[in-house]
Structure 1
Amino acid sequence: MSIQSIIQWMMIGISIVLLSGQSAANLQNRGMSLQPATPDNYELVWSDEFDYEGLPDDSKWSYDVGDGCPDLCGWGNNEQQYYAQNRLENTRVQDGHLIITARKESYKSAAYTSARLLTRNKMAWTYGRIEVKAKLPLGRGTWPAIWMLPEEWVYGGWPSSGEIDIMEHVGHEPNRIYATAHTEAFNHSDGTQNTDTLRVPDAEHRFHRYAIEWTPDAITWFVDDKQYAVFKNRRQTYKEWPFDQPFHLILNIAVGGNWGGQEGIDDTIWPQEMVVDYVRIYQKE
């Protein structure tokens, strides 16, 4: 083989490597996972990689439906959306992603529609690492959340049995996310909730991994494996620490409400989407 031929083959090899790297970067930018390693001392026990098309897998997901009336009109927070079920306009799996869409449209009792997807009556967990890779909606009036509620409400209704907010975001505070634990002793109704916040400069434009690690001793919050919040078990009674029972996972976008609508709703921004690349639940080996 001539020296010129050898050089040509070397250049082809370099091009292939560069193209491969570019493909990996493009996958990352689109949010498509390159299957990160399992966290130390954990094993994967449940996941949805959204490697199918259409409505979410009904063996894994159920819905909250309606506007919360008559008991909790606005779901207790004066939210403005109607949560729809099995409606592709609001919930669909496409191109490897779960897409939850909030829309401005007249639908039944509301001026907006959205979806609240949950694993209730399908799967719940006590302790573990819960990780969701997502890109958030943009604009004033949006209120997306990745959170958990008790499966059985062992200690009574909210907030006695607890709530874990893995990620909350309100559109009037761009690029900022919140981590909160609610209990009977610590909750927003009394102004005693335990909340921490982190600025994520491109949360509405790029995918990030939102996670908690929940043990009998503490709940710890992470973004892209960076720890930024912790709620320690200071249990005297269930009022301080009800987090010893199974909780299910919830994904939703609310519209307006006491917090999400604190500065009003921008009616020029709709539709808005929360795009989820995967949901993965790990527990100790």
Structure 2
Amino acid sequence: MSVNPYRFLSLAFAVVPLTACTATDGRQTKVIEQVSLPVPGEARAPANEAGWELTWSDEFDAPQIDRTKWGFAVDCWGGGNNERQCYVDDPSNAGIENGALVITARKQTHTGPAFPPHMRASQPDGEGRATKPFTSAKLLTQGKAAWRYGRIEISAKLPQGQGTWPAIWMLPEDNTYGTWAASGEIDILEAVNLGVPCAECPGGRENTILGTLHFGGLWPGNALNSSEMHAPAVLDEQFHTYGIIWSPGVIEWTFDGNVFARKEADAWWSDNADHANAPFDQRFHLILNLAIGGGLPEERGLGGVAETGYPKRMEVDWVRIWQCNPAPSSGQTCASGSGD
């Protein structure tokens, strides 16, 4: 889930797994292709792969959100996507219930900072104020925890309805290669408009999940590579596990432990780096949020935002992050099961 990813990019496309696409990054035409895709449904469980070490987690068992692990975004910016919510730090929008983190989007008018902190100094009117018709929450580990490579999994239950946009994603802890998107973005899970009528979806209701990389140059010279999959189970109002397995030059996306997309280093680049794995060779922090409206959901499904059925809830049962630490004598890596 990114700044200006769908409405304004010079490169914007969605790839169904096993499909190659041609795209333009504003300078030349490039073929971005998923190669060496796994067999659909290939299971990747940490317990079945030697060397994974659980190094960070939040089971949300405490009575309150752990502020040593999570910070809050507080702004009405709309993510650069014309989203309709203000992000607030309020117990009515984010809290712990029955051992799960609950992020709640509410239909209520709110006025707050027009821009996030890192943008305010560059605005002609300084901080500025904005008013939006919804409130919600965005939690992030920025400044508290960040990772380079590993297995990141989140057990979550997603909201439904036209205009809902839950996201689990990562941004660079340090903009080593420049500001967005030269230093990259990893979208572990996005879903929009779940449950609304969808003629091409199995069962006739929207059930698409997306896994996306953003990279290339500074906006607007940025690019993306996105894979989509129909996952009817997301509509069963149960917890499902969304994850990535991230190793040097390879990122795989998983749903309930099964791989549904794989991207290798020749599918991304950074204009400000001359080595193959950039920008996805640096530390990234984790973000959990529920947006309402914006370019992606409002241009899909039934269009716009349905303002009924609020509040909407995104629930997170746990977050777990493993690092690969195989036995030195094994000659194996957790991600591939074989030597580098």
TM-score when normalising by structure 2: 0.67
Identity %: 44
2:89 aligned with 1:67: no
In 2: Cα distance, 1:125 partner to 1:79 partner: 28
Alignment-derived partner of residue 148 in structure 2: 126
Alignment-derived partner of residue 83 in structure 1: 87
Contact 1:254-1:260 within 8 A present in 2 as well: no
Runs of 4+ aligned structure 1 residues displaced above 6 Å come to: none
Q: How many residues align?
A: 242
Alignment-derived partner of residue 221 in structure 1: 253
Contact 1:186-1:192 within 8 A present in 2 as well: no
Alignment-derived partner of residue 162 in structure 1: 184
Alignment-derived partner of residue 232 in structure 1: 264
Alignment-derived partner of residue 282 in structure 2: 245
- The alignment yields a C-alpha RMSD, in angstroms, of 2.1
* Cα pair distance change 1:143/1:235, threshold 3 Å: closer
In 1: Cα distance, 2:132 partner to 2:317 partner: 29
Q: Give the letter aligned to residue 228 of structure 2.
A: T
1:103 counterpart SS class: strand
In 1: Cα distance, 2:320 partner to 2:47 partner: 10
Contact 2:46-2:52 within 8 A present in 1 as well: no
Q: 2:296 aligns with which of 255, 259, 268?
A: 259
In 2: Cα distance, 1:246 partner to 1:107 partner: 34
TM-score when normalising by structure 1: 0.80
In 2: Cα distance, 1:280 partner to 1:142 partner: 25
* Cα pair distance change 1:186/1:153, threshold 3 Å: closer
For structure 1, which runs of at least 5 residues remain unmatched after alignment?
1-35, 69-73
Alignment-derived partner of residue 95 in structure 2: 92
Contact 1:38-1:44 within 8 A present in 2 as well: no
Q: 1:206 aligns with which of 238, 241, 244?
A: 238
2:215 aligned with 1:183: yes
In 2: Cα distance, 1:227 partner to 1:244 partner: 21
Contact 1:48-1:280 within 8 A present in 2 as well: yes
Deviation at 1:202, TM superposition (A): 2.8
Alignment-derived partner of residue 42 in structure 1: 52
Rg comparison, structure with higher value? 1
Which is helix-richer, 1 or 2? 1
2:66 aligned with 1:57: yes
In 1: Cα distance, 2:175 partner to 2:218 partner: 17
For structure 2, which runs of at least 5 residues remain unmatched after alignment?
1-44, 112-130, 199-205, 326-340
Alignment-derived partner of residue 17 in structure 1: none
* Cα pair distance change 1:252/1:235, threshold 3 Å: closer
Deviation at 1:234, TM superposition (A): 2.1
In 2: Cα distance, 1:191 partner to 1:45 partner: 33
